Amino acid sequence: MSSAQVVELTLPALPAGWSADKEFKAVGKLSAATQRNLEPVGPHFLAHARRKRHHRTFSEDERIQAQQNVKKTEEEEDDEISEDEDPMMLQRDAKDWKSQDHYAVLGLSKYRWRATPDQIKRAHRKKVLRHHPDKKAALGDRDENDSFFKCIQKATEILSDPVKRRQFDSVDEAADVEPPSKKETQKGNFYKLWRPVFESEARFSKIQPVPQLGDENSTFEEVNEFYNFWYNFDSWRTFEYLDEDVPDDNENRDQKRHVEKKNANARRKRKTEDTARLRRLVDDCAALDERIKKFRKAARADKDKKRLEKEAEAKRIAEEKEKARLEEEQRKKEAEEAAKADREKAKKAKEAAKNAAKKNKRVLKGSVKDVNYFAESGEPSAAQVDSVLTDVDLINSKIDNEELASLAERLTAAGKDAAAVKNVYTEEIKRLVAAGKAKEGEVKFFV
């Protein structure tokens, strides 16, 4: 520690004509002088002490300190933002800043649009410490061109501004991942080859997070969501960075409007081309995606299954209808045959009844003939025969076949007994009269 020094200070003299009594009112008094010890401190004193200790001049000490600061910064910075500098890049013209790779200038090529603001700041600090003209001069490189340092400053200006950085990221082709060819996809891992492509394109999506490509175990819903998202991709990508510079000359407004219109048309064209490019990329990926083929095959199998089930159901229904139709036809046929048999039977019965009725009528007529038409002796007169047969015909007309059969049976039983035969006819007449089938007195002979 340095020893204390005594500093002698002399108070300045009062101006002429000054008086303490003039508009002055003392509110206190000065304290007595106090002796204090002062010690030199601060960076300037430390620099002075360092130079004295190592016997350096100002320029020597500044150069050595610059070297140590660069070395310290490089040691403190991790390797994440350390890249070998391209000799051609160091010779870039600062005026051609639009065509330079700002991320490469700052050593952030592998990060690009993923680089954080903190990484950009640290990369800028590291580059400045290495390429600042004053630092180069301090290191003895007085012929160093400061063009690359201007490139560093411009890159930092672009990447530190969110709007300008977004414009540059929009046209940063170095961040694009080239899609694999069909041959490469067939030989390699489809998901490993295509996943980086969509991760790169996803940086332009307005909607975040972006659905992932997935793997061979992804469900139909996940795959469908992925391709629907990319076929309806909503991109924020713009192309202002490639605009032609608009003149600031207010006198030539027509030229300014012409350039602005030209830039707007160029943006729209690039936007359309980029949309078409992305659509082709998604088409190529979908054409090589085995999951889609698997899902389509399963869908076709399910469709075929449903079709076969539908056809089988239609066939079953048709067979049931045909069976019902055949059964109905068989039933109608059987009914018709039964009806025909019934008609035949009825016809036969009718004919049998008719024949029986004829036979019974003959029995009735024969019964009176056998008793000689009830003549007591000799041949009956024509009038008597006619009277008997008239009554027999009248009785035949009043009775049905069953009654006729019953009557014929009784007459057969009566035989050739005239009294018995007449008695049968008389009882039959009485029955008919009682039943209301015949009128009293209608029969003349059998009374």
- Give the per-residue pLDDT at 413: 82
Q: Are 165 and 181 found together in one domain?
A: no
Q: Are 125 and 164 found together in one domain?
A: yes
- Give the per-residue pLDDT at 250: 64
Which of 288, 304, 329 finishes a domain?
288
Tens digits of residue pLDDT in 57-85: 888 888 887 777 766 655 555 555 667 77
Q: Are 106 and 132 found together in one domain?
A: yes
Tokens at 337, concatenated: 């045959």
Q: Which residues of the chain have pLDDT under 70?
A: 1-5, 7, 18-26, 70-82, 135-145, 249-251, 447
Tokens at 249, concatenated: 């000359």
d(CA 130, CA 354): 141
Tokens at 351, concatenated: 């004919």
For residue 340, being part of any structural domain is answered with no
List of residues 6+ apart from 272 with CB closer than 8 A: none
Closest Cα to residue 194, out of 204, 184, 209, 179? 179
Tens digits of residue pLDDT in 302-340: 899 999 999 999 999 999 999 999 999 888 888 888 888
Owner of token pair 């030989």 = 187
Residue type, 300: R
3-state SS, one letter per residue, for the chain = CCCCCCCCCCCCCCCCCCCCCCCCCCCCCCCCCCCCCCCCCCHHHHHHHHHHHHCCCHHHHHHHHHHHHHHHHHHHCCHHHCCCCCHHHHCCCHHHHHHCCHHHHCCCCCCHHHCCHHHHHHHHHHHHHHHCHHHHHHCCCCCCCCHHHHHHHHHHHHHHCHHHHHHHHHCCHHHCCCCCCHHHHHHCCHHHHHHHHHHHHHHHECCCCCCCCCCCCCCHHHHHHHHHHHHCCCECCCCHHHCCCCCCCCCCHHHHHHHHHHHHHHHHHHHHHHHHHHHHHHHHHHHHCHHHHHHHHHHHHHHHHHHHHHHHHHHHHHHHHHHHHHHHHHHHHHHHHHHHHHHHHHHHHHHHHHHHHHHHHHHHHHHHHHCHHHCCCCCCCHHHHHHHHHHHHHHHHHCCHHHHHHHHHHHHHHCCCHHHHHHHHHHHHHHHHHHCCCCCCCCCCCC
- Give the per-residue pLDDT at 1: 46
Sign of the four-CA dihedral 18, 19, 23, 27: positive
Q: Are 160 and 204 found together in one domain?
A: no
Q: Are 195 and 154 found together in one domain?
A: no
Q: Are 201 and 123 found together in one domain?
A: no
d(CA 102, CA 97): 8
- Give the per-residue pLDDT at 338: 85
- Give the per-residue pLDDT at 281: 94
Tens digits of residue pLDDT in 381-415: 888 778 878 878 888 887 887 887 887 788 788 78
Closest Cα to residue 123, out of 150, 92, 155? 155
For residue 198, being part of any structural domain is answered with yes
For residue 236, being part of any structural domain is answered with yes
Q: Let me know how long the chain is.
A: 447
Which of 172, 196, 229 finishes a domain?
172
For residue 322, being part of any structural domain is answered with no
Mean of all residue pLDDT scores within the chain: 83
Q: Are 284 and 214 found together in one domain?
A: yes
Number of domains in the chain: 3
For residue 19, being part of any structural domain is answered with no
3-state SS, one letter per residue, for 277-318 = HHHHHHHHHHHHCHHHHHHHHHHHHHHHHHHHHHHHHHHHHH
Which of 288, 319, 336 finishes a domain?
288
Cα 52 → chain centroid = 79
Q: Are 223 and 189 found together in one domain?
A: yes
- Give the per-residue pLDDT at 75: 56
Q: Are 192 and 159 found together in one domain?
A: no
For residue 186, being part of any structural domain is answered with yes
Query: The domain that contains 398 carries what CATH number?
Result: 1.10.8.840
Q: Quick count: other Cβ atoms within 10 Å of Cβ 226?
A: 22
Q: Residue 235 forms beta bridges with which residues?
A: 205
Q: Are 190 and 268 found together in one domain?
A: yes
Q: Are 142 and 217 found together in one domain?
A: no
- Give the per-residue pLDDT at 21: 65
Q: Are 199 and 142 found together in one domain?
A: no
Residue 128: give the domain boundaries: 83-172
Tokens at 326, concatenated: 């055949």
For residue 55, being part of any structural domain is answered with no
User: The whole model's pTM is what?
Assistant: 0.55
Q: What is the largest CA-CA distance in the chain?
A: 214
For residue 204, being part of any structural domain is answered with yes
